[in-house]
Amino acid sequence: MYKVYNPKLRELPPSIGRLGELAYNLWFSWSDQAKSLFARIDPLLWDQYVHNPVRLLAEIDASKLQQIAADESFVQQYDAVIRQWDEYLQAPSWFEETYPQHKQQAIAYFSAEFGFHESLPIYSGGLGVLAGDHCKSASDLGVPLVGIGLLYKKGYFNQKIDTDGNQLAETVTYDFAKLPIAPAYADAAPSELPQELVVTVALADRTVRLKVWHVQVGRVSVYLLDADLEENSPWDRELTAQLYGGNQDIRIAQEVLLGIGGVKALRALGVPTGVFHINEGHAAFLSFERLREQLDKGLSFHAALEVIRASTVFTTHTPVPAGHDAFPLPMFEYYLHDLFTAYGQYRDVLTQLGLDAGKNLFNMTYLALNTSAIRGGVSKLHGQVSREMFRGFHGNIGAEEVPIGHITNGVHLSTWLAPELKELYSRFLPGTWTTSQTNKDQWGGIDLIPAESLWAVHKQLKEKLIGYARANLREQRRRNSMPAEVIEEVRQYLSKDALTIGFARRFATYKRANLVFSDLNRLDRLVNDPDRPVQFMFAGKAHPADRPGQELIREVYRVSQMERFSGKIVLLENYDMNLARYLVQGVDVWLNNPRRPHEASGTSGQKAALNGVINFSVLDGWWEEGYDGSNGWSIEMNNEADWATQERENTESIYRLLENEIIPLYYNQGALPTQWVNRMKRSIRTLAPVYNTDRMVMDYTNETYAPSLARTRHFIANDYEEAIKVADYKQFILQHWHQVRIIEVNDGSGKARVASQAADPLKEVSVTVKFGPVWYKDTAVEIVYYEEHSGRWQQRVIEMEPSRQLDDSTVIYRASIPAHLKHGPHFSVRVHPISPNFARRFELPLVTTF
């Protein structure tokens, strides 16, 4: 299919010769045995090099390698890890067994960031870590996924906190030769040496060259594009320097390189791609490059667009309108200059695909929506918010019918579950529990774990966290040149016996990191209770341009420095995947209090839940689905109230639940809080089998990838016959829909009748529709009304049947509805186009109502 050339490390002794292979495959990052093997080589260097096995093997003394190669115990451990690795690669996969017909077609997964491991720091937060977890589960399940992203030479930034609580963004330039990545190579004839792959992208008035790098993630390949080449101008070389850095010019340029350059890289590599997954709108320009490809084949624009839509999946992650990238039209036209010059006749239709006419901006989310057949949010609530947000795209229909679904996020279990807990679970769960983790029945074994065993492991993880947190705080103080005694007092900070609450995420204002500080006197009583103390750990970065977010960090820091909170409220710096693991595995409670519904999904609480850490959260994102009343706590509020009221209600709920439920439960049974452990078990048992990326990737495969692969194959068969037919049909409908009119509605003046199977009286409604040149069988005629169920109004749609054709274009339809409904006040009638070739019911935003 396409070639992968493994990079060469220094020559290794034969008895450990495949260590380099392990180092360059990020499978090591979710294999506890592989990580333990690398750590054993030199524990201090392993930590110093941020758990980077490539750098470890490159820089360690050769004598040390010879020493471990002669260590029989080490070689035995090495052999066991290599066996595990080989078995992983050779095992039959879920995808091969479920979709053998699709195993030769790759799914291209485009994302602006990927968070695989702290040793490859090209991520900023949740979106990137989710993308990394998505790839890992795709590997575990054998899904033929190929990732596409950008390689940021300066990553995001390292965060330092100064003595005033200011965030200092430290830029680091990474040496790619010492990261678990390698150049990708173009195919070459057997007699030729392979060449490092470089693709070119037209950007504004020039061409940018991009080197393609390869990251191996288990069975999944990820390709990253790098503009830092001598052939590029100094400005262009900086385009892939930093994640989310720079101004709008940098941002749109990055997105052109990602979308258009990513497609070019796939083509150069010869990857047979069947589906393109746009993970957030940053990569939506990939549709322009794919349209260009189809136009060059001679397809009409509208037929080409149908091919692109059929094979594109889009996931939106942002419930706030301001979070969707949009660019001024002159800027958009400048950076796409080459495309508009070569395909000038399509300038208007291309622009329309992303045009926000009200703001005169080109919106990347609009482009993604208009070029994808299957679109979704990342939780049930986020799906609802997205349907409301983009309702205007889809004609005169209710928000509940807008064709945007959802697949709730998950987390990669093997990455985030503590090894100590993995070992404990394995003693009580079936032997295949990690590979069949979505099977809820097998998680019942959690209840068999003795309370003292689970509590003992949790206490061990908590002590590890506290030790790591103290080291983090000592380093902060040392770097800030504080006196020795001030540095050393950190050794007394935090207690392994105190109820420990964690809050770690991006410092954005809507996440409200300071909410628990609303009443410092009340907080003082909780934190300093001599018998039932509480302590808080905070961590997270704010974007360097987000001044309000940085002010939140300063506020947390100021509170942590107050004498009454010293050592009991702490702010840890440089939140990354390594620190995240310590936190989600070691705290007792995971606090999450965003402004609802601004948290699209959130995954940190899912990571915590795997580890028996109990969630305490606003019912937003995934927690609205996950909370069942007994597996955590819900921070309450009136969702319909104004923001100020909601804030007061959230704050009161946090304090009340801490005082009356959470703290008493934690402390009520002495050394072994059995009731607390029971709630830990309930959390694990109900949440772990659902909120993992195996389930998520299976959902994506079943609901989006496989249908898209099948639909695309159907569309391109017989020289694009079906795509052309669908495009022509849509064009005809769009041109003639204005002639479709509902002439008359008779809502049943006759006597109501009683339905045979129900007591409710029904009446017959007739509707006369004039279709003009549109064939009546290409439409649906429906009655729409609402019924109240459990205090909520739910839409009912009754499809009407044609009963009599008056002439070539006029048809009478009939249907029965409850007799008390009257046309106008209680129900309406609508007509909209349908087709068996539509991917979704309201694919055309055409609805005629009466």
At 1, the pLDDT band (50, 70, 90 cuts) reads: very low
User: What pLDDT, in 10s, does the model give residues 356-398?
Assistant: 999 999 999 999 999 999 999 999 999 999 999 999 888 888 8
Indicate if 398 and 487 belong to the same structural domain.
Answer: no
Map 230-282 to HEC letters. CCCCHHHHCCCCCCCCCCHHHHHHHHHHHHHHHHHHHHHHCCCEEEEEEECHH
What pLDDT score does 5 carry?
53
Map 598-638 to HEC letters. CCCCCCHHHHHHHCCCEEEEECCCCHHHHCCCCCEEEECCC
Indicate if 157 and 289 belong to the same structural domain.
Answer: yes
- pLDDT of 828 above 90: yes
- pLDDT of 757 above 90: no
Going by DSSP bridges, is the β-strand pair 761-770/810-818 parallel, antiparallel, or unpaired?
antiparallel
Structural domain count of the chain: 4
Judged by DSSP in three states, 542 sits in: coil
- Report d(CA 161, CA 313) in Å as an integer: 40
* 726 lies in some domain: no
User: What pLDDT, in 10s, does the model give residues 599-658?
Assistant: 999 999 999 999 999 999 999 999 999 999 999 999 998 888 888 999 999 999 999 999
Domain boundary among the residues 74, 90, 106 is at 90
Domain boundary among the residues 90, 107, 124 is at 90
Q: What's the average model confidence in pLDDT over 129-140? A: 98
| Whether the Cβ atoms of residue 585 and residue 611 lie closer than 8 Å to each other | yes
At 2, the pLDDT band (50, 70, 90 cuts) reads: very low
- pLDDT of 238 above 80: yes
What pLDDT score does 456 carry?
97
| Whether the Cβ atoms of residue 767 and residue 812 lie closer than 8 Å to each other | yes
* 725 lies in some domain: no
CATH code at position 229? 3.40.50.2000
* 734 lies in some domain: no
- pLDDT of 203 above 90: yes
- Report d(CA 542, CA 573) in Å as an integer: 11
User: What pLDDT, in 10s, does the model give residues 776-806?
Assistant: 999 999 999 999 887 788 899 999 999 999 9
Structure tokens of 407?
A: 């697949």
What pLDDT score does 190 carry?
67
Q: What's the average model confidence in pLDDT over 505-530? A: 95
Amino acid in the structure at residue 354: G
Q: What's the average model confidence in pLDDT over 432-438? A: 95
Q: What's the average model confidence in pLDDT over 425-453? A: 96
* 337 lies in some domain: yes
What pLDDT score does 790 carry?
79
Q: Which residue has the higher pLDDT, 808 or 524?
A: 524
Residue where the block lists tokens 């220094």: 10
Indicate if 80 and 101 belong to the same structural domain.
Answer: no
Indicate if 460 and 599 belong to the same structural domain.
Answer: yes
Indicate if 594 and 611 belong to the same structural domain.
Answer: yes
CATH code at position 824? 2.60.40
Indicate if 489 and 349 belong to the same structural domain.
Answer: no
Judged by DSSP in three states, 812 sits in: strand
- Report d(CA 746, CA 744) in Å as an integer: 7
Domain boundary among the residues 75, 90, 105 is at 90
Terminal Cα distance for the chain, rounded: 55
Indicate if 53 and 152 belong to the same structural domain.
Answer: no
Across 141-145, 255-259, 277-281, 322-326, least confident range:
322-326
In which element (H, E) is residue 591 found?
strand 589-592
Question: Range of 282's domain?
Answer: 94-409+699-719
Q: What's the average model confidence in pLDDT over 28-36? A: 98
Strand residues in 189-243 grouped as ranges (E):
198-203, 206-217, 220-226
**Alpha-helical regions (H) of 480-546:** 484-488, 520-527
In which element (H, E) is residue 798 found?
strand 792-799
233-258: burial string, b at 16+ Cβ within 10 Å, e else? eeebbbbbbbbbbeeeebbbbbbbbb
What pLDDT score does 468 carry?
97
Indicate if 338 and 302 belong to the same structural domain.
Answer: yes
* 841 lies in some domain: yes
Indicate if 493 and 346 belong to the same structural domain.
Answer: no
- pLDDT of 750 above 60: no
Across 95-104, 330-339, 734-743, 749-758, least confident range:
749-758
Indicate if 401 and 478 belong to the same structural domain.
Answer: no
- Report d(CA 34, CA 660) in Å as an integer: 45
Q: Which residue has the higher pLDDT, 840 or 245?
A: 840
Going by the DSSP 8-state scheme, the letter that residue 742 receives in this structure is: E
Q: CA 407: distance to chain centroid?
A: 10
Cis upstream peptide for 183 (omega within 30°):
no
* 284 lies in some domain: yes
Backbone Cα Rg of the chain: 29
Amino acid in the structure at residue 576: D
Indicate if 219 and 168 belong to the same structural domain.
Answer: yes
* 6 lies in some domain: no
- pLDDT of 3 above 70: no
Structure tokens of 774?
A: 């549109």
What pLDDT score does 191 carry?
67
- pLDDT of 759 above 80: no
- Report d(CA 775, CA 232) in Å as an integer: 56
* 421 lies in some domain: no
Q: In the chain, what percentage of residues exceed pLDDT 70?
A: 97
User: What pLDDT, in 10s, does the model give residues 275-321?
Assistant: 999 999 999 999 999 999 999 999 999 999 999 999 999 999 999 88
Q: CA 204: distance to chain centroid?
A: 31
Indicate if 715 and 754 belong to the same structural domain.
Answer: no
pLDDT, mean over the chain: 94
